[in-house]
Chain A
Amino acid sequence: MSTEQEEIGNLTQLLQEQFPGAVQSYHQHRGDETVLVERSQILPICQFLRDDERSKMEMMIDLTAVDYIKESPRFEVVYHFKSLSLEHRIRVKVRVPEEDCEIDSIHELWLAVDWYERECYDMYGIIFKNHPNLQRILMYSQFEGYPLRKDYPIGRQQPLVEMRPVNERHDYGEL
């Protein structure tokens, strides 16, 4: 990784010039650039990536999170953007600590982001500030906890309706 770190990609360089100090680390693999950025800067950085002539990211491809349970800050929110006109892409990562599990929503920039952020909130419990409708999207609202967090008890069942008792399940009357 060290040799890769020396070659700095065009987009990374652009970001470093535009937001001095915001890019914490970066690497690139076969022309695929990844930057780890400051949490407070995510909204201006995304705005810049979308609007600047040299980056022109028209498309928000993916937004998800990773739970690194051993580390601090614990969570990592990952954004993927693609430029259709310039044909390049970038992966932006942001670390989010467990105690203060919040990040700015970027739903104003790409409408598609709305449901991704809801899913991310649903599965990891990361709060997206200023999101218009931050509710669970896959799980039901009665669900407690965040299932894709590594410390969610793996066998815990939270049924919505009462289960039928075992001896009733195979009742066929008189044989």
Chain B
Amino acid sequence: MGLITEKLPKMMAGMPGSDIIFTRMDAVINWARANSLWPLTFGTSCCAIEMMMAPGASRHDLARFGAEVARPSPRQADMLILAGTIVKRMAPRLRTLYEQMPEPRYVIATGACTISGGPFIYHSYSTVRGADTIIPVDVYVPGCPPRPEGLLYGLLTLQKMIRSGETVREPGIRHKPVTSETPEGITIEDIKSEMLALLEKDAVVDVRKAAEQMERPTGI
């Protein structure tokens, strides 16, 4: 930004007709969008602390990428960093918040909890199994919690996505610039079905039988 507003005018000043520059409109719009992502102040558990203390604070500094102005109102925000476990009671509120954000809006899911339910995926009556069951997610940053570098990489990935994707003619299209590799001979469908089978297997537990085998704890 500083380069454009401070250095460029001086460099161009000597040339004839230099007060007009031609470029693609989409490029300018996407450049502006990618470099002024305003996150919504939203955090639900431990990942939120990590997000505030590490990338939000001075050492790693989210502000270098134009994403430091956390807005308390969804009407003023265009990026939602999902930090922390989403519980079922939170889910309707989260969807409302997402719907209240003006378009175009972007979502980064940080941490195992928002990707899949994380440590709480089994045997939980209250946790949502992945935030993408509630709202669409653009970038997933794994970790528990992710390293600050991870979140910054996720943010840069989102910027790349914004710059390469949407145009005025085709709003809402985002290209996925990075796809992680799966091992040879394994498809995403295999992983999904295996995961579902595991969940099903664990969901059926005969508690009375388990209690029969359990010893009574000491005390009265």
Instruction: Name A residues whose Cβ lies closer than 8 Å to a Cβ of B.
Output: 1, 25-27, 34, 36, 68-71, 93, 138-140, 147, 150-161, 163-164, 166, 168-175
Contact = CB atoms under 8 A, between A and B. Distances in A.
Interface residues of B, number: 39
Contact of A172 (B91, B175, B202): B175
A155 B176 CA distance: 34
B125 A151 contact: no
B204 interface: yes
Q: Which of A1, A139, A155, A158 has the most CB of B within 10 A?
A: A155
Interface string B29-57: 00000000000000000000000000000
Contacts of A158: 88, 125
B203 A155 contact: yes
Contact of A69 (B130, B137, B208): B208
B140 to A, nearest CB: 10
Contact of B173 (A139, A152, A173): A173
Interface of B: 88-89, 91-92, 95, 122-123, 125-126, 128, 130, 132-137, 165, 172-176, 192, 199-200, 202-205, 207-208, 211-212, 214, 216, 218-220
Contact of B123 (A140, A155, A172, A174): A155
B220 A169 contact: no
Given A69-B208, A155-B203, A164-B132, A1 B218 contact: yes
B208 A172 contact: no
Contacts of A1: 218
